[in-house]
Amino acid sequence: MLVAVLAAGLAGCATVYNLPGNVPLGAALADTGSASDLPDYQDDVLLALSFSGGGTRAAAFSFGVLQELDRARSGVSGTKTLLDRVDFVSGVSGGSITAAYFGLKRRAALDDFRERFLLRNAEEGLKTRISLGNIGRALGGGVNDSQFTDWLDHNLFDGARFDALPDERRPRVWINASDIYNRTSFVFGKTSFDALCSDIRSYRVAEAVAASAAVPLAFAPIVLETYPGGCAAPLPRWLDQVRKDPNAQPLLRSYAEAQARYRDGSMKYVKLLDGGLVDNYGLSGISIALLAAQRPYEPLSERQAVKLRRILFLVVDAGRGITGDFVQTLEGPNGVELVSAAADTAIDSSVRSSYAAFTALANDWNGKLRRWRCGLSAAERSRLGVGANWKCSDVSFYIERLSFEQLGPERAGLLNAIPTRLSLPAEQVDQLVAGGADALRISKAYQSFRRGL
């Protein structure tokens, strides 16, 4: 009881928060037209990756997948690998660290990511001890504020801003956080920042990654400021249509309502925490794009849709192993265990349903895409530059979830025992990297995709 009273007193005098790091959209950029966060690279392959949350263990497991992609030659000349053909990468929490670094450095990320992040102690600047002071900070907004952002900026991202992730260059990167007021995903990209009337190009990559990994209580929310009236370009028309549709999908509706609130002035600040709270696979963004599609080929462009022959979407899942021993005693879980167990339960239950929903949605879209292609008239095919040997049905879609379980019970048990921390021993890091590479190598969907190239 005394501890609770002291903690309450500490919370009353210890307010922890982050200052907004985004700036208004400049006048020259105020009418930039429709927003797009999806890649528009027009070749015959679409290769997309989604990296789950899970601290350094997720970052290492997803890094192993990148290494294995770089071992697979692609194209007649054999000078490129599949890593060069990654169009799109989405990341959550620990997975967003790998996604952002790969997006910035591409193949060069393979040279030093292990040393610059995976083997480093990213917790060195964080307050991690359980103490009265930290309990007070947790109750006052979060134990840590900008420490992790600054660590990432100085040690990994070198001050990079989103303008270092240009739209015309592979891969397109999505970093996912959770908007805890609107209870929906927040994707760091042009669409959401246009709704804020804010400039995504000048925003720090490190701050977006820190938002994606901001575990409740351990971190104070990352804050964005809205600038209503700061831009004249209207929101996409489909957002208003969704808000007026009583039968709209709940995922789509919550996203549309959030975008409207960013723009209309009803929210002064957006508060962001760990993306895993809403979607630990980073699938909400692409699911929303598919649900919002007005035409059968969307969210692709027409020319992109007719050229495609192979689509591979890999969900790289580092999982969240079962922890704690409170089931062996009548007492417990204690306060810390209770918060952790509640968050893990919510995240695990949501990812199972989100993956099943995404798979069904993607397969339905694949059918629509095939029917649209086969329904094109001769004039439309000519307009889109379709050759004489083009086959409308020649488009294959593969979805695969890569996880520890694919490596067998013994190895999966070993990897699941590794904690979801931001600091791991080198031996465990290398086990996870090797696990990611092996999970991809033995994937049947991946093997089929490669045979089709």
Cite the active site residues.
93, 274
Token output for 350: 């949501």
Q: How many CA atoms lie within 13 A of 294 on its CB side?
A: 7
AA identity, residue 72: A
AA identity, residue 84: D
- Locate all alpha helices (DSSP H) within 225-377, ordered by sequence: 237-244, 250-264, 284-291, 302-307, 335-374
Q: Which residues, in sequence order, are CB contacts of 133 under 8 Å at separation 6+?
A: 10, 14
Three-state DSSP class for residue 360: helix
363-370 contacts at long range (C-beta below 8 A, 24 or more positions apart):
363/397, 363/399, 365/290, 365/293, 366/311, 366/395, 366/397, 368/296, 369/296, 369/297, 369/300, 369/305, 369/395, 370/395
How many Å separate Cα 40 from the centre of its chain?
19
- Orientation of helix 205-212 relative to helix 94-105, angle to 10°: 160
Please classify residue 328 by burial: count the beta carbons closer than 10 Å to its beta carbon, then call 0-12 exposed, 13-18 middle and 19+ buried. exposed
Please classify residue 382 by burial: count the beta carbons closer than 10 Å to its beta carbon, then call 0-12 exposed, 13-18 middle and 19+ buried. exposed
Q: In 3D, which of 148, 279, 262, 128 has the Cα closest to residue 204? A: 148
DSSP 418-435: S---S---HHHHHHHHHH
d(CA 426, CA 441): 23
d(CA 326, CA 324): 6
Q: Which residues, in sequence order, are CB contacts of 13 under 8 Å at separation 6+?
A: 136, 140
The label of the residue with tokens 């549309």 reads: 256
Three-state DSSP class for residue 23: coil
Token output for 96: 């967003």
